[in-house]
Amino acid sequence: MSLLITDECINCDVCEPECPNDAIYMGDEIYEIDGNKCTECKGHFDEPQCVEVCPVDCCLPDPNRVETEEELLAKIK
């Protein structure tokens, strides 16, 4: 499943440059993740990079976007 950023986000700017799929962007108030681009870093890293660098643990699995590993890998351009 792709990830999402909760409203716990403090806009620290560390997650956006770490995303290999350019799925993270500044929303109206906090950073957001484009679920159509997020692969949980499958095919790039062992762990999602936004999760690794987030100081407040606000990058979580999106329960509304359950996807298999094959579906996630298919999103890589």
pLDDT the model gives residue 3: 97
Beta bridge partners of 4: 60
DSSP 32-53: EE-TTT--TTTTT-SS-HHHHH
Judged against a pLDDT cut of 80, whether residue 64 lies above it is answered with yes
pLDDT the model gives residue 1: 83
pLDDT the model gives residue 68: 92
Judged against a pLDDT cut of 90, whether residue 77 lies above it is answered with no
pLDDT the model gives residue 21: 95
Residues 6+ apart with CB under 8 A from 56: 8, 9, 10, 12
pLDDT digits (tens, 9 = 90+) for 10-62: 999 999 999 999 999 999 999 999 999 999 999 999 999 999 999 999 999 99
Question: Can you list the domains of the chain with their CATH numbers?
Answer: 3-74 (3.30.70.20)
